[in-house]
Amino acid sequence: MDELVVLKLGGGLITEKSELCTLKPGVINKLAKLISKLTGSGYRIILVHGAGSFGHLKAKKWNLHEGYIEGFKPDDNDEFSKQSEVVESVRNDMMLLNERVVNSLQSFGIQTKSFPPHEWATGVGRNFSGNISIFENNDEYIPVTFGDVVNCNDGTVFGILSGDDICYRIATEMGANHMIFAMGGAPGLMTKPPSMPDSKLIRIWSGDMEFDGEHVSNIDVTGGIYLKLDCAKLIALEVPNVWIVDGEQPTRILEAILSGDTIGTKIIT
C-alpha cells in the first residue's frame, strides 16, 4: 500500500470554536487512534488541521483577515495595542494547538514533523507561494500543517492562509489518492444549516448543485463551508476519492478510504 491520504481536521472538530483556545481532547485522541490504524495499514498521511478557537476569535476581533489596517483597534480593546501583536499571539496559539495535536499522535506511536505555514508560505488563497515539496519525504513521519497567519507581499502585510487552500495545493500537486475533510457538528454537507430540523444529508455533491449553507461570519475568518466546497470540487478534478464526513465518527473516515463508501458527502466532478 502506497496510497496518499490528505486528511483535514476542521477547527470546529478539534476545538470548541466559540471558546477561546479550548480543545476537544477526546475527539483529538480518537482521531489520532484512527490515523495510527491508517499508517499501520500502509497509507501515507499528510495531516492539515484548522484553527478553531485558537485562531479565528482573535483574528476576527482584530480583522487580521483584512490585512494591515493602520491604527486599527476594536471597540472593546483587550490586552493588545496593535495588530502586529495579535499576529504573533495567534501564531503562538496555533503552535500550541499544533503541539497538542502532535502530542496526541505521538502517544499512539506516530512520528510527526510540523510545518507552520508562517515559516514556509507567503500570501493567501490557492495561489499562495510556498514549496509544497517539503511534504514529500513522509515515509518515516506524518507531516502536519495548519491554517495560519502568514506574511503577504501585496501591500496587505499579512493575511489568513486557510487550511483548505493548503489542502488543495498538497492534494493536487502531490497526487493524492484520497482527500478527506473531517468536520464537526454534521454528518457531511447538509441541504440546510445543520441546526435546522428539516436539514438532510447530501450524499453526493458536484459543483453545480445548490445548497443553503451556513457561514458563521461573527467567528470565521476564512470562508467556512463555502471555501471548503470550492476547494473540494477543484480537488475532485484530480483526486479520485474526495469526502466530507463527520470527524466525531472516525470509522467513517476509515470507511471512506478503505471502501469509498460511508455516511457522508462524496464530492464528484
pLDDT tens for 54-82 read 998 999 999 999 999 999 999 887 789 99
Per-residue pLDDT at 220: 62
Boundaries of every domain in the chain: 4-268
Cite the DSSP H helix spans in the chain. Answer: 11-14, 25-40, 56-61, 83-107, 117-120, 163-173, 224-235, 250-258
- Give 252's contacts (C-beta < 8 A, 6+ positions apart): 187, 245, 246, 262, 263, 264
Per-residue pLDDT at 17: 86
pLDDT class for 87, splitting at 50, 70, 90?
Answer: very high
Provide the percentage of residues in the chain whose pLDDT is more than 70. 95
pLDDT class for 169, splitting at 50, 70, 90?
Answer: very high
How does the average pLDDT of the chain come out, rounded? 93
Per-residue pLDDT at 77: 72
Q: What is the CA radius of gyration of the chain?
A: 18
Measured CA to CA in angstroms, residue 206 lies from 7, 10, 237 at distances of 20, 21, 11
Q: CB of 86 within 8 A of CB of 80?
A: yes
Q: Is CATH 3.30.365.10 the classification given to domain 4-268?
A: no
Angle at 119 between CA 90 and CA 85, to 5 degrees: 30
pLDDT exceeds cutoff 70 at 125: yes
Residue 262: CA atoms inside 13 Å, Cβ hemisphere, count? 26
pLDDT class for 217, splitting at 50, 70, 90?
Answer: low
